[in-house]
Chains A and B, each alone.
Chain A
Amino acid sequence: SQQGEEDPQALSIQEGENATMNCSYKTSINNLQWYRQNSGRGLVHLILIRSNEREKHSGRLRVTLDTSKKSSSLLITASRAADTASYFCATDVQGAQKLVFGQGTRLTINP
């Protein structure tokens, strides 16, 4: 089974609203990353948060990490049509030299 699971699987909001996506994982991690994938394209890195960090910002993105609950959230503020994409969390599993992805949240921003 996969390490990370995103929630919700799909999210549709109006332009200008905030979008929140959640990620839960199962084992201890060193860091957690968020990626975006536009339809038919490869994934693009958004932000990395380390296990000793609780919150991180990058432009309109805000990521939180709660290692006690093994969960993370990605908040996109003031959404734009161009934010329409799938968003994935990825974790590096401690003791295993690999990057494991969740199933993704498909975000649709309606104009």
Chain B
Amino acid sequence: NAGVTQTPKFQVLKTGQSMTLQCAQDMNHNSMYWYRQDPGMGLRLIYYSASEGTTDKGEVPNGYNVSRLNKREFSLRLESAAPSQTSVYFCASSEAWGETEAFFGQGTRLTVV
């Protein structure tokens, strides 16, 4: 049972490049989330998917897009990376939004130069 798996673990991008962060969970959870963590800012919600087939914006959605590919997978895309998107990105999942514990991946450390 792998839990929540994120790939890649580390990535360096040049300004303007695009990339997709992958996230998969094997717990049959309905809800999935993408957060970014910056020093002194805690975790900020980028996008979330309360159930398969739905996605909604969180606190800081600008510059990102998401796809809930199926119940297991929830990807985060940066279309044109900017230095302000340098951060650690975490994917999480839970059985039901907010009502049960969330399980987190190990994070993707992204640097945009």
Contacts and interface: CB of A to CB of B under 8 A. Distances in A.
| Binding partners A and B | yes
B59 A42 contact: no
A103 B40 CA distance: 7
Name A's interface SS: strand
Interface residues of B, number: 29
Contacts of B99: 30-31, 92
B97 to A, nearest CB: 4
Contact of B33 (A2, A98, A102): A98
Contacts of B56: 97-98
A33 interface: yes
A48 interface: yes
A11 interface: no
Interface of A: 2, 30-31, 33, 35, 40-45, 48, 88, 90-93, 97-104
